Amino acid sequence: MIRFLFILFFSICYTSHIEKLSYKVYFNNLKAGTAELKLSEDAQENNYIVNFELRSYKYLDAIYKLRENTSMIVNRKDFSIYEIKKYVRQGRKKRNYHGLFDYDSKIAHINSQIVTFQKPVYDPINIIYYIRNNMQLLKDDIEFSIISKNTFKNINMGIIKEEEIIFNNKKYVCIVVGPINNKENSTSSLKIN
C-alpha cells in the first residue's frame, strides 16, 4: 500500500497534460461557478490521470457551497478506474472516499471496506473520456458499472438526440449522450461533436 501511494505521488508530480478543459457552471441561467477537467499521463506513461475540480463562486458559497475534487488513475485503453479519490461538498453535506481496484482478483478497497466487483468500474467523469474515444460503440447502448456511495450501480448510456450548438459563431451538430433508462427526464448528458 505504501509503495502504491508513493507511485501515485510520484506519478502526479511528474505528469504531462494531454488536455485541459475549463467550464463555466450555470444554475438557472445564473453563473454559479467554474469546473476544470484535466487528462494527463503518469510518469511511466502506463496510465492516465483524470482530475476534476468544481467550485461555486464566493458570492454563492454563503447560500450553497459546492465543491468537488476528483482524482483518478485510469486504464489507458478503456478508462476503467485503478484508483479514485473523491471529495464532494453540496451545501452542508460532505462526503469523500478513496478506492483501489484490483482487476486481477476483482477486489476493491473502498474506504475501510473490501468489496468484490465483476465489471470494469467507472465514475461519470471518466465515462466522458471512454465515450469520446469509442464513438463507434454508440450505435448500441453501453452498460457501465459506476461507483456511487461505496457501492456499484449499473447504468446504460446511449444517444438521446442530436442537437445543434453555436460556439464562436460556428454551428456544430452534436450528439447528446446520457442515461437511457429515462431519456425524457434525463438531467445528466454529454454533448459530443
Indicate whether 17 pLDDT > 60.
yes
pLDDT above 90 as % of the chain: 39
Indicate whether 13 pLDDT > 50.
no
Closest CA to 55 of 21, 89, 29, 84: 89
pTM metric for this prediction: 0.77
| CA gap 115, 154 in Å, rounded | 16
Indicate whether 2 pLDDT > 50.
no
Annotated domain spans of the chain: 2-138
Indicate whether 43 pLDDT > 80.
no
CA-to-CA dists, residue 131 to 8, 100, 102, 163, angstroms: 25, 23, 23, 17
pLDDT tens per residue, range 87-131: 999 999 999 989 999 999 999 999 989 999 999 999 988 888 888
Burial of residue 48 (number of CB atoms within 10 Å: 0-12, 13-18, 19+): buried
pLDDT tens per residue, range 163-182: 888 878 888 888 788 888 64
Indicate whether 157 pLDDT > 50.
yes
